[in-house]
């Protein structure tokens, strides 16, 4: 069974600041790791994913994430946030049986102030 | 144009009543999922399906049934709605292994049971 933990429930930043959202997982085998964004009142939207290869993956809107097998982590970063980045961000893992969908973390709410 | 559409977007139901949440996708995906979202619990998988006329139990199936009459449609049925089923429900589709199990979500259905 795979698990995902997001250590920060809420992060507050100012426009132009950088942000890093932490995600740690536990699973012994090969997995897909991904990040999703949820704006208030809407469904989740895919940001980026990692399975193998370059541990730094690029996503939409300037987001990137770095996989670390030694730390069991997949942290999301953005160099300069915009007010529109205010949302809840979910880390997710998918283990060997892809049919069973994703296991999500509890999410990190990001509030961006002008 | 939204590829996963849910209806209704919002509903108030009485305890003990029957509720049907519907989901329609135009992604031509084989896999479909129903998740519920509650504050403090993130998203939890209720039921999923990987082919028409077949459904599988997810992590929290008790009190819910699912129906997949066609590739495009996937319904979630609450035969006897209870207060504890007040939540936001999300439908998602995926082509599973082909995309690393990237999920495409609908906008959600907010259910309030009174």
CA dihedral B9, B12, B17, B22 (to 10 degrees): 0
Q: What's the DSSP call for residue A100?
A: G
- Per-residue pLDDT at B98: 61
B38 to chain A: which residues are within 8 Å by CB?
none
Q: Which residues of chain B have pLDDT under 70?
A: 1-2, 97-100
Distance CA B13, CA B16 (A): 9
Distance CA B89, CA B97 (A): 24
- Per-residue pLDDT at A52: 85
Q: Are A106 and A88 in contact (CB under 8 A)?
A: no
Distance CA B56, CA A59 (A): 32
- Per-residue pLDDT at A100: 77
CA distance A113 to chain B (A): 23
B4 to chain A: which residues are within 8 Å by CB?
43
Nearest to B79 by CA among B20, B33, B12, B30: B20
- Per-residue pLDDT at A96: 64
Triad A66, A42, A21: Cα angle to 5°: 25
Query: Which residue in A36, A99, A104 is closest to B96 by CB distance?
Result: A99
CA distance B80 to chain A (A): 26
Query: Which tens digits make up the pLDDT trace of A24-59?
Result: 998 767 788 999 999 999 999 999 999 889 999 999
Query: Which tens digits make up the pLDDT trace of A74-101?
Result: 999 999 999 999 999 999 998 766 677 8
- Per-residue pLDDT at A3: 87
- Per-residue pLDDT at A101: 83
Q: In DSSP terms, which residues pair with B73 in a beta bridge?
A: B24
A102 to chain B: which residues are within 8 Å by CB?
101, 103
The residue behind tokens 């709410």 is: A109
For residue A34, give the chain B residue with the closest CA. Answer: B102
């Amino acid at each position: 069974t795979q698990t995902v933990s997001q250590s920060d429930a809420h992060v507050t930043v100012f426009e132009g600041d950088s942000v890093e959202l932490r995600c740690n997982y536990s699973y012994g085998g090969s997995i897909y790791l991904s990040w999703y964004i949820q704006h208030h009142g809407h469904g989740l939207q895919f940001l980026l994913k990692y399975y193998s290869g370059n541990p730094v993956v690029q996503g939409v809107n300037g987001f990137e994430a770095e996989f670390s097998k030694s730390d069991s982590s997949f942290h999301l970063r953005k160099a300069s946030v915009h007010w529109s980045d205010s949302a809840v961000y979910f880390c997710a893992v998918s283990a060997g049986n892809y049919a069973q969908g994703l296991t999500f973390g509890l999410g990190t709410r990001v509030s961006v102030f002008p | 144009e939204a590829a996963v559409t849910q209806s209704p977007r919002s509903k108030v139901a009485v305890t003990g009543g029957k509720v049907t949440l519907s989901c329609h996708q135009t992604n031509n995906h084989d896999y479909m999922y129903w998740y519920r979202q509650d504050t403090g619990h993130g998203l939890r998988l209720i039921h999923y399906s990987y082919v028409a006329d077949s459904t599988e139990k997810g992590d929290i199936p008790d009190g819910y049934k699912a129906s997949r009459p066609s590739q495009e449609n996937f319904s979630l049925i609450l035969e006897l709605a209870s207060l504890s089923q007040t939540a936001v429900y999300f439908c998602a589709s995926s082509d599973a292994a082909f995309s690393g199990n990237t999920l495409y979500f609908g906008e959600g259905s907010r259910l309030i049971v009174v």
